[in-house]
Amino acid sequence: MPSFDLRRQLEDLRDGNRSVEDLLHFLQDYPYQDLEFARIDHHRPLRTGFPEVVLGRGKTPAQIAKIVESLTGRGYPVLVTKADRAAYAAVAGPTPSAVYHGLAQAIVVPGPEPAACREGVLVMTAGTADLPVAEEAALTAGLMGSPPQRVNDVGVAGLHRLLSVLDDLRRARVIVVVAGMEAALSSVVAGLVAAPVVAVPTSAGYGASFEGLAALLGMLNSCAPGVATVNIDNGFGAGYLAAQMNLMGQQP
Amino acid sequence: MPSFDLRRQLEDLRDGNRSVEDLLHFLQDYPYQDLEFARIDHHRPLRTGFPEVVLGRGKTPAQIAKIVESLTGRGYPVLVTKADRAAYAAVAGPTPSAVYHGLAQAIVVPGPEPAACREGVLVMTAGTADLPVAEEAALTAGLMGSPPQRVNDVGVAGLHRLLSVLDDLRRARVIVVVAGMEAALSSVVAGLVAAPVVAVPTSAGYGASFEGLAALLGMLNSCAPGVATVNIDNGFGAGYLAAQMNLMGQQP
Amino acid sequence: MPSFDLRRQLEDLRDGNRSVEDLLHFLQDYPYQDLEFARIDHHRPLRTGFPEVVLGRGKTPAQIAKIVESLTGRGYPVLVTKADRAAYAAVAGPTPSAVYHGLAQAIVVPGPEPAACREGVLVMTAGTADLPVAEEAALTAGLMGSPPQRVNDVGVAGLHRLLSVLDDLRRARVIVVVAGMEAALSSVVAGLVAAPVVAVPTSAGYGASFEGLAALLGMLNSCAPGVATVNIDNGFGAGYLAAQMNLMGQQP
Amino acid sequence: MPSFDLRRQLEDLRDGNRSVEDLLHFLQDYPYQDLEFARIDHHRPLRTGFPEVVLGRGKTPAQIAKIVESLTGRGYPVLVTKADRAAYAAVAGPTPSAVYHGLAQAIVVPGPEPAACREGVLVMTAGTADLPVAEEAALTAGLMGSPPQRVNDVGVAGLHRLLSVLDDLRRARVIVVVAGMEAALSSVVAGLVAAPVVAVPTSAGYGASFEGLAALLGMLNSCAPGVATVNIDNGFGAGYLAAQMNLMGQQP
Amino acid sequence: MPSFDLRRQLEDLRDGNRSVEDLLHFLQDYPYQDLEFARIDHHRPLRTGFPEVVLGRGKTPAQIAKIVESLTGRGYPVLVTKADRAAYAAVAGPTPSAVYHGLAQAIVVPGPEPAACREGVLVMTAGTADLPVAEEAALTAGLMGSPPQRVNDVGVAGLHRLLSVLDDLRRARVIVVVAGMEAALSSVVAGLVAAPVVAVPTSAGYGASFEGLAALLGMLNSCAPGVATVNIDNGFGAGYLAAQMNLMGQQP
Amino acid sequence: MPSFDLRRQLEDLRDGNRSVEDLLHFLQDYPYQDLEFARIDHHRPLRTGFPEVVLGRGKTPAQIAKIVESLTGRGYPVLVTKADRAAYAAVAGPTPSAVYHGLAQAIVVPGPEPAACREGVLVMTAGTADLPVAEEAALTAGLMGSPPQRVNDVGVAGLHRLLSVLDDLRRARVIVVVAGMEAALSSVVAGLVAAPVVAVPTSAGYGASFEGLAALLGMLNSCAPGVATVNIDNGFGAGYLAAQMNLMGQQP
Amino acid sequence: MPSFDLRRQLEDLRDGNRSVEDLLHFLQDYPYQDLEFARIDHHRPLRTGFPEVVLGRGKTPAQIAKIVESLTGRGYPVLVTKADRAAYAAVAGPTPSAVYHGLAQAIVVPGPEPAACREGVLVMTAGTADLPVAEEAALTAGLMGSPPQRVNDVGVAGLHRLLSVLDDLRRARVIVVVAGMEAALSSVVAGLVAAPVVAVPTSAGYGASFEGLAALLGMLNSCAPGVATVNIDNGFGAGYLAAQMNLMGQQP
Amino acid sequence: MPSFDLRRQLEDLRDGNRSVEDLLHFLQDYPYQDLEFARIDHHRPLRTGFPEVVLGRGKTPAQIAKIVESLTGRGYPVLVTKADRAAYAAVAGPTPSAVYHGLAQAIVVPGPEPAACREGVLVMTAGTADLPVAEEAALTAGLMGSPPQRVNDVGVAGLHRLLSVLDDLRRARVIVVVAGMEAALSSVVAGLVAAPVVAVPTSAGYGASFEGLAALLGMLNSCAPGVATVNIDNGFGAGYLAAQMNLMGQQP
């Protein structure tokens, strides 16, 4: 515990076991250590199973491999999102325990022990083209201890498909809706359940979907309250939020 | 019948009842008369109850009044859309039979006889703020002989409201869906019925609705087929299309 | 008839031929069966020749092949749009009756019997680059029983080309206008005919066409009424709407 | 319990106490009754203090007054957002218990008893111009039983102001960040705390803020995970989501 | 001739009639004098009847009045565009010869003698709402010596109206097309005539016309060559270009 | 002369040399014949050296080859723009006289005799990356009889480069300015010369040039009058307009 | 010096003059104290004459008045930007020394002594409509000790006007260019001088200027290096940057 | 000194050492020479180590090679930005001293002597994907005599990382902030330091980052003053501005 460390070092100084110069040097970094506490505070969930996450896009395979290597072995899993097979090939050398999830386009280095498992998250897609983003969301939530139930291909064009899973929706504590095109699914689901809905617009579609803009605007303008929107194709962000919410009711 | 007119005039020439000069002058306009026929052909439905339509926006009250005056008394109703009360005041002087529809922001000069009436059009709104545009659609369809059934405030946030009118939806031959915000209603309705859906995005909403852009994109990207989109807030266009479709099955 | 089914089962219960538990289990799914009816109701046209449609874009060849396989043999044709040759190669293995339409970029598995054939739809293009989208529209309408007349390359830059087919336009019950760039053709056609116009903006063009945005806005802002717009490059949606409208006048 | 009702009615039929016709009629509405239950299920939180919410914008004062009157007295508070003083004047006649919150531009009709109160929500603003939206969020969360702590004017231009409230941020279970301009505050806060952040972009700013678009894009692209974005200026949606999350850990 | 001047001054220096210092000072300004000539060169057309033009928008009435006063009496007319009646009131005091053109929203101070008059420009509008912009164009062209023929309300929705003026179009040397909404008129006209078309998109329309964006994109993407586009509502720029072109064939 | 034809035929009818039925049939096609004249009228410039132009983009090599083949040998050159080497390879088989202009990405089939040559057009670029579009403009103007003077790389960042060609600019009758990025060159040039400026925005640049949008908006908002803008990268359209204007002063 | 403070306190602990608990409590706040120093460090320039700045837009007059009152009298001037006369009226009561600058729409409460004055900043406008933003920039720079030279109305449409002030431009250490429409001035100026250019796009213009977007993109895409762009209409930000740069060469 | 040259030549004329014709010829180019002076004046910093800069994008390898060859050997370094390895291969033949910087995607031909070196610039990145743009900025600043300190990967999601380099930030005279996604870093840094911040938005990110638009808008709307924004991914422009500013305080 950092606080403990600090107290002990102050006691060391008081007791003559440490010099002022030595402690000054330590405290020169103190704000950062203090914020290191913050970081630890913030990262506490990670130690309980939350992954350290790297966005693969925009990084070279060599950069990704190096970052993954430095993060591996710290007691929690490592997740690289938007990573192609070339990145995985580079990672697998120095980090052979890394696993590639092809559909989600993600690399995972499992943690030392399986994450605690809490039910309550449901990840659903409107169509087959939304699957990669949903996989990313599910993978993330799972690594954070909330392996989700999956419901696929329940777009509003066939409402009966949606209604046939209504019981599952009502049982969920958090629902991640992954949808492209007009993304009406998030509004419809949010109108049917009491749980918060995390809405992920996808770039699935063409023409006036404008690479996900239509879906994004649709989700932001939901006529039903209780919809939390994330970036287009941001499965990771949605899975993270869903797990974060799902853990809120847990006893400390 | 214009063709008849033309034949008769040619016969007149042949029979010496009309001079070459006279007919040349007539035929100088012939292409336009022919296209005037086309206009008549095109406007034939108007004579059977379709209104002559004027877009009020962008015109001064005096201009509107003058246009309405020149159109009145031709045997069919006159419709002015997007017209405020000042326009109506200017119109009512020279054309006292004009009526103002406040909610639809429209001026109507009724035709000499009530339009024929064919059931089959249903105009529905997602919310109360969509009413003015729906009124414009309903007014237009009514003037064209298809006075619509009205269903209001059935947004997808409360799906049960929508499902409670499912029978009405299934009976309709054409459905006009008027919705702002994310406009998910058109996708859901098109997925529930076999009839074509005319989708009217409205500028209802705020923020990232961007004056109806979100609704427009949502309707254009409908995951259900059978959705025909018109311009934002274009109730007139929707009512026109709906009546046009509704009359398609009629015996000639 | 599903209602009949339901009545019979209730009578079975009343008459002791079915248990309460048995019927409860049946009715547990009833809303979905009811909506299954809806689905059947909605899909009724499909059984009369309407295709089951799959959007190929965003799906892997393997996914498409699996979906097509599961849809084939149900008594109606299967249509996959926006599908490349790789998708077709994957489909052709398990479903050898599949046919690839290269220009339309579509895969079709023909139904057991040819669709009923009703004239009345006309599909026209403004230019050669609009052909693939028009092919998709024509293919769709044809599979739905309305094989369209085709008129190509009649952009408004040479108005005489358009006017030379005016008789064909006037005879059509529904006209699909496929145009990129400024897409003025839909306004001009809608001003010439009494039939509804289904307008398909295409991404043909460059620069400030912004991948079809200019065409889309042009069609939405048509100064002539009677224009129903669909998504950019959405030939399928246009063909579907056109066939839907064309069938409206049919006797039940 | 609806299932119970259903079983009893089936037993009635089996036992001859109900006719087939009677039950057929009941079952005809069954999906809607089921969804009516759904509505109740969905609205259950409302009965526990969640307000019935009306978006004032786009509705006339008379419409708002009528809607409020019909909602009042059902056992829970009524909230009208984006309502000006003219709307309040219209409401106050038939509903004298209505209260106007000028800064939040909201009308509230209090429920019969004060909402249960659960701490944990914190609503913060980046600047003074964000206050009205924050007020709307706070009012909503309060009506839903989560009256929030308020922290104002802690924009990132003066980071020390933010850090001086770090303890408050760390104690919160959900943080609502209300910010316009570049809206960097949500990223910074989400990087400092473990709680989920509900981000509300506002239209505060000018020029290239494009009425909140810059803030919206900034929040959607947060480099820190755990950020749930709602529509521009949508204080209500944020307060609703925050209360929803805050209640997740409650014992049933 | 500046070169002559320069030679003479160099000779003066050589001959001892001018000092090095004196000539250095002259040459220090030489580029600007040269460009002052350029200014005269550029403004030569103005002296032959081209107006000095002031954009009224964004200037206060007092600023406009002062600018007009300083420009008046220089031998050519003065034109203020986008000016309201308040600006005119301010101008009329110091410059009583100023005239207000209400429809064009322009102030004109006539020059000392009527401009030379050359036929050949035709200004046409698609609809009544385009009139103010067309008036601005016509006024500008007239002040520059090319008073235009006017053709109004010939939108493509009624093609016969356009064809009825085909002879006028064919006689024109330059055609200014003023159109809002989808602005298809410029493409159609450019396809019918050999003369260049100056296309002015207007902000007439609503919804997805996005304040003239649809018209602008439509005109830029014209499928017919020979279309020169100017800014939205820029009647002045169109009239200026048209007069410029119309004068090109004139003998020097 | 069609009018003459018409008069003669009417006289034939009057004189009994032609039947009513016969003339009715002729008149049925009259508008199209009249517009066929129009087509000839419109295409007259083409016969005097204007090329028949095909936009290569969006067409397959086979389509282009077939179109070129059908256009070749009609007495005027054929121009295919935005065509790659694959298109040229397909064209060169059936049309071996075709020439490929690699920089302009254009295929030209020369006409039977060299075009008449009229000086007066000047095509200038702001930078090297604008060259392909400028080449397209120059090629087009040349084929239309106005082979242009070329001035390259005179962007406003080095104003002296521009001023060093001022004499050339002042001598030109029409100036085509080809510029990407902020495209300030068109405003500066239009402020220096009396000739009309045809402005071609290019997609040269990156980032916030948004594929030429910045250049397009810059040219449309020119503070100097006399700027005619065409589509982004539309060298053809600019060359066409420039030649059209350059020929305006020619004796008929 | 905080480090000094820290050393002394550590020595106190070592020497038994301070308890571990006491120092722990101090260190708990240490980062914020450190950042409080940071604030002072950051605000040091303010104490030397930099104003405390309030953005008036989005705040009520009462809020502005209260903020100004609390900032007044701290030894430096107070500046409120984008403030109308109503805001000034509210401010003038509690703070009678406040002065309203109507053109700049700014309120200034002068500091106790005139700011130090360093020449070197030049603020120039392209047109009269850019004056208010330029005034805001000049006012800001002046309050920060760099009262600027002013050059107005030197748009690139009349390049000689610009070149006639070239000497002034070359003498300046920093140039603020304020321009709307296509904003070409910043590129041209940056190409002529060695000093950095702060570019302020303004919303002056209409149509496709899109409220300053055209000017913003133009400035961002400057083909000349050395251009620093700020937000549309952000005169304050430009004046601030210019003064900041101008002070860089000063001796401490 | 050019002025000196001019004086000397005038003296030569006066003294009979030069003919009028000779000097006339010289002065014919004088404005350009004068502006050549301007160029020299503007390029003076280049002679002291500023590179001549070529934008590689949009140019062919052959064009780049030719330009570099013509610029090399003039006494200062040459920099080609946005250049790929193919361009380098073409350059390296005629200019073997060229060096390729792979991460920055830049080609450098070193000048004859190392640039003077002035500390004060700091280039920082928010994330690894921003490195290429930062490299371009650093390379540029270095070539201009201000080799920057580098600080990487200090995004605001981990504020402690930023605060740990606060001393470095405070010591810098100019800070270049390179950031994609929401680009909050520039606001936070500008709020912490007194130095001007040059903000470079990058296209790093995905979805609603819209290729850097989100970052660009974020930086333009910074709530902290003192932020100068350049084009998306414009590392060169940022490095240039930073070096320009850094040299401002230097003794002449």
Q: Is E153 exposed, middle or buried (0-12, 13-18, 19+ CB in 10 A)?
A: middle
Q: How many CB atoms lie within 10 A of CB H17?
A: 11
Q: In what order do the strands lie in the sheet with C174-179?
A: B149-151, B121-125, B174-179, B197-201, B227-229, C227-229, C197-201, C174-179, C121-125, C149-151
Judgement on whether residues G132 and G229 belong to the same structural domain of the protein: yes
H-type helices in chain F, by residue range? 2-14, 20-28, 30-47, 61-71, 85-92, 131-143, 159-163, 166-171, 185-192, 213-220, 235-246
Q: Describe the crossing of helices E85-92 and E61-71 by its angle, rounded to 10 degrees.
A: 50
Separation in Å, CA of F27 to nearest CA in chain E: 16
Q: Is the pLDDT of residue E19 over 70?
A: yes
User: Which CATH number do you get for residue B189?
Assistant: 3.40.50.1970
| Closest by Cβ to H59, choosing from F129, F207, F209 | F129
DSSP state of C196: -
Separation in Å, CA of B160 to nearest CA in chain C: 12
- Residues from chain H that touch A219, judged by Cβ atoms under 8 A, are none
Residue B163 dihedral angles phi and psi, to the nearest 5°: -65, -25
Tell which residue, G249, G248, G195, G185, has the closest CA to residue G222: G185
Give the type of residue at F229. T
Q: Let me know how long chain H is.
A: 252
Q: For residue A120, what are the contacts with CB-CB under 8 A and spacing of at least 6?
A: A146, A172, A173, A174, A246
- Residues from chain D that touch G42, judged by Cβ atoms under 8 A, are 158
Tell which residue, E152, E157, E220, E235, has the closest CA to residue E187: E220
Residue A102 within any structural domain of the chain? yes
Question: E211 pLDDT band (50/70/90 cuts)?
Answer: very high
Searching chain D, which residue's CA lies closest to the CA of residue A194? D42
Q: Residue written as tokens 């207000």?
A: E100
D28: containing domain: 6-109
Segment-wise mean pLDDT, segments of 10 residues, chain D, 252 residues: 53 82 60 34 40 86 90 83 97 97 95 81 94 96 93 80 83 96 93 91 96 97 94 96 86 42
What was the pLDDT predicted at A177? 98
Higher per-residue confidence, F13 vs F213 = F213
Give the type of residue at G231. N
Q: Does the beta-carbon distance from A6 to G14 stay under 8 Å?
A: no
| Closest by Cβ to G182, choosing from F208, F209, F222 | F222
| Closest by Cβ to H207, choosing from A36, A38, A212 | A212
Searching chain B, which residue's CA lies closest to the CA of residue E162? B32
| Closest by Cβ to C158, choosing from F39, F213, F231 | F39
Q: For residue E188, what are the contacts with CB-CB under 8 A and spacing of at least 6?
A: C156, C159, C184, C188, E156, E159, E162, E224
Q: Does the beta-carbon distance from E204 to B58 stay under 8 Å?
A: yes
Residue E199 within any structural domain of the chain? yes
Separation in Å, CA of F100 to nearest CA in chain E: 22
Residue D116 within any structural domain of the chain? no
Judgement on whether residues F91 and F131 belong to the same structural domain of the protein: no
Q: How far apart are CA H119 and CA G251, in angstroms?
A: 16
Residue D172 within any structural domain of the chain? yes
Judgement on whether residues A130 and A103 belong to the same structural domain of the protein: no
Q: Does the beta-carbon distance from H218 to D213 stay under 8 Å?
A: no
Per-residue pLDDT 10s for chain G (252 aa) are 233 356 677 788 888 888 877 776 555 444 433 333 333 233 333 433 466 688 999 999 999 999 888 888 777 788 999 999 999 999 999 999 999 999 999 999 998 877 678 899 999 999 889 999 999 999 999 998 899 999 988 878 777 778 778 889 989 999 999 999 999 999 999 988 889 999 999 999 999 999 999 999 999 999 889 999 999 999 999 999 999 999 886 544
> To the nearest whole number, what is the mean pLDDT of chain E?
83
Q: How far apart are CA C126 and CA C135, in angstroms?
A: 13
- Residues from chain H that touch D222, judged by Cβ atoms under 8 A, are 157, 181-182
Searching chain A, which residue's CA lies closest to the CA of residue G2? A28
Looking only at the bridges linking them, the beta strands covering D174-179 and C227-229 are: unpaired
Q: Is the pLDDT of residue F193 over 60?
A: yes
Searching chain F, which residue's CA lies closest to the CA of residue B19? F14
- Interface residues of chain G, partner chain H, Cβ below 8 Å: 31, 38, 41-42, 44-45, 53, 166, 170, 173, 191-196, 198, 216, 220-221, 225-232, 236-237, 240-241, 244-246, 248-250
Higher per-residue confidence, E159 vs A61 = A61
Split into its structural domains, chain G has a count of 2
Q: How far apart are CA E32 and CA G162, in angstroms?
A: 9
| Closest by Cβ to B241, choosing from C42, C196, C237 | C196
Q: Does the beta-carbon distance from H6 to E27 stay under 8 Å?
A: yes
Separation in Å, CA of B179 to nearest CA in chain A: 10
Higher per-residue confidence, F196 vs C115 = F196
> To the nearest whole number, what is the mean pLDDT of chain F?
83
Q: Let me know how long chain E is.
A: 252
Question: End of a domain among E109, E143, E178?
Answer: E109
| Closest by Cβ to G207, choosing from E39, E58, E234 | E234
Q: Does the beta-carbon distance from H250 to G250 stay under 8 Å?
A: no
What was the pLDDT predicted at A6? 61
Q: Which residues pair with A210 in a beta bridge?
A: none
Judgement on whether residues D179 and D242 belong to the same structural domain of the protein: yes
What was the pLDDT predicted at H4? 37
ipTM exceeds 0.85, yes or no: no
- Interface residues of chain F, partner chain B, Cβ below 8 Å: 3, 6-7, 10-11, 13-14, 16, 20, 23-24, 27, 30-31, 34-35
Judgement on whether residues G135 and G241 belong to the same structural domain of the protein: yes
Judgement on whether residues B133 and B45 belong to the same structural domain of the protein: no
Determine the residue among A161, A182, A206, A210 to mutate to test chain C binding: the one whose Cβ has the most chain C Cβ atoms within 10 Å: A206
- Residues from chain G that touch H246, judged by Cβ atoms under 8 A, are 248
Q: How far apart are CA E202 and CA E134, in angstroms?
A: 10
Q: Does the beta-carbon distance from G196 to H241 stay under 8 Å?
A: yes
Per residue in B68-93, pLDDT tens?
Answer: 888 887 777 889 999 999 999 999 99
Q: How far apart are CA D161 and CA A158, in angstroms?
A: 51
Q: For residue D177, what are the contacts with CB-CB under 8 A and spacing of at least 6?
A: D124, D126, D183, D185, D186, D189, D197, D198, D199, D200
Searching chain E, which residue's CA lies closest to the CA of residue F167? E38
Q: In what order do the strands lie in the sheet with A52-55?
A: A52-55, A78-81, A106-109, A99-101
Per residue in E165-210, pLDDT tens?
Answer: 888 998 999 999 999 999 999 999 998 888 999 999 999 999 999 9
For residue G154, the SS3 value is coil
Judgement on whether residues C235 and C128 belong to the same structural domain of the protein: yes
Residue H130 dihedral angles phi and psi, to the nearest 5°: -90, -5
Q: Does the beta-carbon distance from D234 to B207 stay under 8 Å?
A: yes
Separation in Å, CA of D192 to nearest CA in chain H: 7
- Residues from chain B that touch A208, judged by Cβ atoms under 8 A, are 217, 220-221
- Residues from chain D that touch H208, judged by Cβ atoms under 8 A, are 217, 220-221
For residue H122, the SS3 value is strand
In this prediction, the residues of chain C whose per-residue pLDDT falls under 70 are 1-7, 24-52, 115, 249-252
Determine the residue among E60, E70, E71, E216 to mutate to test chain G binding: the one whose Cβ has the most chain G Cβ atoms within 10 Å: E60
Q: Is the pLDDT of residue A146 over 70?
A: yes
Judgement on whether residues H15 and H60 belong to the same structural domain of the protein: yes
Judgement on whether residues A53 and A157 belong to the same structural domain of the protein: no
Q: Does the beta-carbon distance from A36 to H160 stay under 8 Å?
A: yes
Q: Let me know: does C126 contact C152? Beta carbons within 8 Å.
A: no
Question: End of a domain among D52, D84, D109?
Answer: D109
Hey, which of A46-50, C52-56, F61-65 has the most confident mean pLDDT? F61-65
E251 to E142, E190, E242, F251: CA distances (angstroms): 19, 27, 17, 11
Does the predicted model carry a pTM greater than 0.90?
no
Q: How far apart are CA H103 and CA H96, in angstroms?
A: 20
Separation in Å, CA of B182 to nearest CA in chain F: 27
Give the type of residue at C121. V
| Closest by Cβ to C24, choosing from D10, D34, D35 | D10
| Closest by Cβ to G7, choosing from A20, A34, A35 | A20
Q: Let me know: does D175 contact D124? Beta carbons within 8 Å.
A: yes
- Interface residues of chain G, partner chain D, Cβ below 8 Å: 31-32, 35-36, 38-39, 42, 55, 57-59, 63, 67, 82, 201, 203, 211-213, 216, 231-234
- Residues from chain G that touch F203, judged by Cβ atoms under 8 A, are none
Q: How far apart are CA G245 and CA G198, in angstroms?
A: 10
Q: Does the beta-carbon distance from D225 to A245 stay under 8 Å?
A: no
Residue D115 within any structural domain of the chain? no
What was the pLDDT predicted at H5? 53
Output the six-digit token pair for H54.
């070529």
Q: How far apart are CA G203 and CA G181, in angstroms?
A: 8
Judgement on whether residues A156 and A96 belong to the same structural domain of the protein: no
Concatenated DSSP letters of E82-108 = S--HHHHHHHHTT-TT-EEETTTTEEE
Residue G115 within any structural domain of the chain? no
Judgement on whether residues D126 and D90 belong to the same structural domain of the protein: no
What was the pLDDT predicted at D33? 35
Give the type of residue at H17. N
Q: Does the beta-carbon distance from C221 to E181 stay under 8 Å?
A: yes
List b or e across G31-64, with b for residues whose CB sees 16 or more CB atoms inside 10 angstroms.
bbbbbbebbeebeebbeebbbbbbbbbbbbbebb
Per residue in A123-138, pLDDT tens?
Answer: 999 988 999 999 999 9
What was the pLDDT predicted at B248? 82
- Residues from chain H that touch D209, judged by Cβ atoms under 8 A, are 217, 221
Segment-wise mean pLDDT, segments of 10 residues, chain H, 252 residues: 53 82 59 34 40 86 90 83 97 96 95 80 94 96 93 80 83 96 93 92 96 96 94 96 86 44
Residue B1 within any structural domain of the chain? no
Q: Does the beta-carbon distance from F232 to C204 stay under 8 Å?
A: no
- Residues from chain A that touch B219, judged by Cβ atoms under 8 A, are 182
Separation in Å, CA of G80 to nearest CA in chain D: 14
Judgement on whether residues D12 and D129 belong to the same structural domain of the protein: no
Residue E228 within any structural domain of the chain? yes
Searching chain G, which residue's CA lies closest to the CA of residue D203? G58
Question: End of a domain among D109, D138, D168?
Answer: D109
Our answer on whether C and G touch (3+ beta-carbon pairs < 8 Å) is no
